[in-house]
Chains A and B, each alone.
Chain A
Amino acid sequence: EPEVTQTPSHQVTQMGQEVILRCVPISNHLYFYWYRQILGQKVEFLVSFYNNEISEKSEIFDDQFSVERPDGSNFTLKIRSTKLEDSAMYFCASSVTGSLATNEKLFFGSGTQLSVL
């Protein structure tokens, strides 16, 4: 069964450093998302991406964050200057069309655990 893959599974970085989290969505999917889950807290929406541009973003997704689809298969989340509070599990997800009119599920990757020291 097709799946969303994320690399690395764990990332440790120093505060102030830039990190790039990588995702390979399911190949025929058109909508891509990043969510995060701080330890012990709820899963939170960060951003959705369609047709090479941001579709929606939350207030968490400030100027320190950016997303990119550098080629036909990868989808990346960049944090420009990491802070301690960025430590979380980051999940990538994808869906076929993102259409509200269809009975469509989101498919999530296994996540990247980011630890900022």
Chain B
Amino acid sequence: KQEVTQIPAALSVPEGENLVLNCSFTDSAIYNLQWFRQDPGKGLTSLLLIQSSQREQTSGRLNASLDKSSGRSTLYIAASQPGDSATYLCADDHNNNDMRFGAGTRLTVKP
């Protein structure tokens, strides 16, 4: 069964630290991979989308990479802030926006 896995499930870091969230997927024939942020009681906010032909995307302090051959993506957050505390989800798009989500990494950034 094709699936998306995220590790760690939870991460707590002090403010200012750089961190990496990991996502692995079993279906190499994906069209793109997206990273989302989910705040409690809120919807999902798309942070970065990487097309299958791309290697990475950057937005501000966020950088996402994609390695299709190994089935891995990482989300790098630089100089973390307490406002970055949220659950981060990755999802692969294998069939025209029929997306498969990972279970998420719950990030806490301590002041």
CA gap between A106 and B93 in the complex, in Å: 11
Interface residue B45 (Cβ < 8 Å from any Cβ of A): yes
Alpha-carbon gap, A98 to B32, bound state (A): 12
Contact call A103/B51, Cβ cutoff below 8 A? yes
Interface residues of B in 78-111 (CB under 8 A from A): 89, 91, 93, 95-104
- CB of A75 closer than 8 Å to a CB of B: no
A2 CA to B36 CA, complexed, in Å:
18
Q: Which residues of B contact A55 (CB under 8 A)?
A: 96
What's the minimum C-beta distance from B93 to chain A, rounded to whole angstroms? 8
- Contact among A33, A42, A58, A107 for B46, CB-based, below 8 A: A107
The 8 Å CB contact of B96, one of A35, A48, A93, is A48
Whether a CB of chain B sits under 8 angstroms from the CB of A115 is: no
- Return chain A residues, CB-CB under 8 Å to B34: 105-106
Interface presence of A109 (CB below 8 A): yes
* CB <8 Å contact, B43 and A48: no
Contact assessment for B43 and A98 in the assembled complex, using a CB-CB cutoff below 8 Å: no
Closest beta carbon of chain B to A60's beta carbon, Å: 12
CB contacts (< 8 Å) of B49 on chain A: these are 103-105
Bound-complex Cα distance A97 to B73 (A): 25
List of B residues within 8 angstroms of A103 by Cβ: 32, 49, 51
Does any Cβ of A come within 8 Å of B44's Cβ?
yes
A55 CA / B97 CA spacing, docked (Å): 10
**Shortest Cβ-Cβ A-B pairs, 9 listed:** A105-B46, A108-B43, A43-B101, A108-B44, A110-B43, A100-B31, A42-B101, A45-B98, A56-B98
* B interface residues with partner A (beta carbon < 8 Å): 4, 31-32, 34, 36, 41-46, 49, 51, 89, 91, 93, 95-104
**Can you list 14 A-B contacts with CB-CB less than 8 angstroms, sorted by A residue number?**
A6-B43, A42-B4, A42-B102, A45-B98, A45-B100, A48-B97, A55-B96, A91-B44, A93-B44, A100-B31, A100-B32, A103-B49, A108-B36, A108-B44
